[in-house]
Amino acid sequence: MIAMVLVLITYPVSAGSDISSEYKVKAAILVNLAKFTEWPRGILADSAPLTICLVGEPIMAALLTEVSGKTIYNHEIKVLALIAAADHGFGSCQVLFMGLPASAQAETLLNKIMDRPILTVSDIPGFARQGGMIELVRKDDHLGFDINLGKARKAGLMLRAQLLALAKIIE
H helix and E strand count, the chain = 6, 10
Report the CATH number at residue 142: 3.40.50.2300
Spatial distance between the Cα atoms of 84 and 39, rounded to a whole number of angstroms: 24
Q: How many domains does the chain have?
A: 1
* Residue range 113-162, pLDDT digits in tens: 888 999 999 999 999 999 999 999 988 878 889 999 999 999 999 999 99
pLDDT value, residue 4: 46
In which band, very low, low, confident or very high, does the pLDDT at 86 lie, cut at 50, 70 and 90? low
In which band, very low, low, confident or very high, does the pLDDT at 88 lie, cut at 50, 70 and 90? low
What is the enclosing helix (H) or strand (E) of 51? strand 50-55
Highest-confidence range of 83-87, 108-112, 134-138, by mean pLDDT?
A: 134-138
Q: Rounded mean pLDDT of 63-77?
A: 90
Pairing of strands 75-82, 71-72: antiparallel
Q: Which residue has the higher pLDDT, 95 or 20?
A: 95
pLDDT value, residue 11: 44
pLDDT value, residue 57: 81
* Residue range 4-63, pLDDT digits in tens: 444 444 444 444 456 678 888 889 999 999 999 999 988 888 889 999 999 988 888 888
User: Could you give the 3-state DSSP secondary structure of residue 45?
Assistant: coil
Cβ proximity of 53 and 61 under 8 Å: no
Provide the domain limits for residue 75: 2-170
